[in-house]
Structure 1
Amino acid sequence: MPPPMLIHAAAAAASPRHARLARATATAATTTTSAVLLARRDLTVNDAQKVTLGIIAVYVVAIALLWNIPYVRGILWPFKMLVIAFHEFSHAFACVLTGGRVQSISLDPREGGVTHMLGGRNAVTLPAGYLGSSLIGALLTFAGFNINASKIASIVVGVAFLLTLWWGRRDWLTILTVLAAVGLLVGCWFIAHAEALRFVVLFIGVMSSLYSVWDICDDLILRKVNSSDASVFAQRYGGSSQCWGVIWSVISLGFMAAGIVAGIAAFPQSATQQREDSQHFIPTKF
């Protein structure tokens, strides 16, 4: 049996280690609790976000109705052309990123479009149209939860449109669509410190997300179009165009849901606070 002094010394040496372990455990528990509480707080929907979610729901219903009602569906035509421009821009952007060259972009009055490319990786450029436009829609939906974020998003979209305009400079419909879109965004900057811009950005985001999903379903599942991006993708990489259509649709809906959740988490400001912040960030008023 060791002498009492040795036992006391061992206990004294172990005591600081136990204290440090206890403090570390307590700190970890506090950090975990704080993270859980922060996550709960970030995903708590406030009044301003409830309004935004309600507007998104109204947009979804309105778009679904206008899409299928004869004679009034033309109301959505300018926005359809706009999201088709997103689709073609996504093809072009993916082509450039993978080492290809874009020759031209053209939009069809019958709600179609084509991007002429040389080179690039087809495994990336083919799905980029559908998935890119749905990702853009999700990002715009995310930005639509906040006025200042909508301002930033409108600048980015404007620059992207100018690139599209460069590639489509020989196509009059592309030129008119891009100029009309840029004009709409610029005009909304001057209404109530760009509060109107937030709702326009939100609508374009929802429209782009829904159009991407509907276009995939319409081309690949309902009508089984043989010349779609997915049919070419299936021919080159296997599977069926319908299978790829379902996969891309699920991904597109996932983008939209992620944009909404991220908007709730990132922008907890009240409507009043958003207006005040907007007055100090590139202030405008009409």
Structure 2
Amino acid sequence: MPSVHPYPEHNFAVFARDAKDSLTPTATQRTTLIVAACYIVAIALLWHLPYLSAIIYPFKLLTVGFHEMSHAIAGILTCAHIHSVELDPDEGGATRMSGGIPWITLPAGYLGSSFIGAALITCGFDTNASKVASLVMAAFFLFTLWWARRNWLTWLLILGMSGLIVLFWFVAGGVALRFFVLFIGVMSCMYVLWDVVDDTIARKVNGSDASSFAEICGCCPSQVWGVIWLIQAFAFFACGIIIGLVAFKQSSAQQAEDAKHFLPVPGSSGALPLLPTPAGLSSTLLCAVATAAFLLHRW
């Protein structure tokens, strides 16, 4: 005869209490949320202001790069051949491929870049997680350069962003890097939301991913797919914040102590002479980029 717990309602009470504690922000997390909210307001204001919009222009191009790379990665996963990835000064982009599965590769741009943004927001809650995110972005940059090797704007953008990452890695033991990663994540998510609304809901763009997807499916107009992708983008945005709240409860002091022992900056107490420092890694990276640029130019 199976045993029955005499107080089954207590299990629910414990679960509810744990969920409340996990989602209640700590002092450090409240600061992160306030900074993220300030980012949202600042980006919204700068988006259309003349001249001042140039401040976020490079980050718009970066999010376009996320969008196009998401197309390319979905193409690779569906056995497509990627011919090129291009960015243009008008904040547009194009991924040229042959083969693949269009009903997967077409929505991958919006959904992939919103997923990347959400992941960066999550990492923006912790210094060491931001360092890991920076290394992942470095790998992302290398793949982008391979597919966009003949696009000068992509080279300038990636070299500039790589320089900012190395610079912020040294500021305040990586705290500046954490807020930089958070900014890129917020920017990517907001750009997806605005792009989906602008291309599909507010007006129908014949050359948009949504219109091409609507032609393939044939069941719904592009505006319907825009609403669906918008809901998914909002869900990614919310999940990025929720996971950050649950996963990274360390205080600022704890994060600073942990950061001293994970890829520390030169001169910190946790830096070991035999471990590669960000300075050494950045020098190696710059040499690799210069060598790649020479070889690609010859090619």
What's the TM-score once normalised by structure 2's chain length? 0.85
Aligned to 1:232: 212
Aligned to 1:60: 40
Q: Check conservation: 1:147, 1:274, Cα contact below 8 A.
A: yes
Aligned to 2:188: 208
Q: Distance in 1 between matches of 2:98 and 2:172?
A: 45
* Paired AA for residue 234 in structure 2: L
Q: Check conservation: 1:212, 1:252, Cα contact below 8 A.
A: yes
Q: Distance in 2 between matches of 1:34 and 1:245?
A: 40
Unaligned ranges ≥5, structure 1: 1-16
Structure 1 residues 115-149: Cα deviation after superposition (integer angstroms, max 9, x where no partner): 11111110110000011101100000011011111
1:72-221 equivalences in 2 (<5 Å): 72-221=52-201
Q: 1:271 and 2:249 equivalent? A: no
Aligned to 1:51: 31
Q: Distance in 1 between matches of 2:226 and 2:20?
A: 35
Q: Distance in 2 between matches of 1:135 and 1:179?
A: 23
Distance apart, 1:81 and its partner CA: 0.6
* Paired AA for residue 238 in structure 2: A
Unaligned ranges ≥5, structure 2: 268-299
Q: Which one has a bigger Cα radius of gyration? A: 1
C-alpha root-mean-square deviation of aligned residues, in Å?
Answer: 1.5
Structure 1 segments, 4+ long, off by >6 Å, are none
Distance apart, 1:31 and its partner CA: 4.6
**Paired residue secondary structure (1:21):** coil
Aligned to 1:4: none
**Paired residue secondary structure (1:227):** coil
The aligned length equals: 266
Distance apart, 1:21 and its partner CA: 2.4
Aligned to 1:284: 265
Structure 1 residues 76-128: Cα deviation after superposition (integer angstroms, max 9, x where no partner): 11000100000000000000011111111110001100011111110110000
Q: Check conservation: 1:191, 1:285, Cα contact below 8 A.
A: no
Distance apart, 1:247 and its partner CA: 1.1
Correspondent of 1:242 among 209, 223, 231: 223
Distance apart, 1:189 and its partner CA: 1.3
Q: Check conservation: 1:134, 1:212, Cα contact below 8 A.
A: yes
Q: Distance in 1 between matches of 2:158 and 2:80?
A: 23
* Paired AA for residue 277 in structure 1: D
Distance apart, 1:36 and its partner CA: 2.5
Shift of the 176–236 alpha-carbon distance from structure 1 to 2, 3 Å rule, reads same
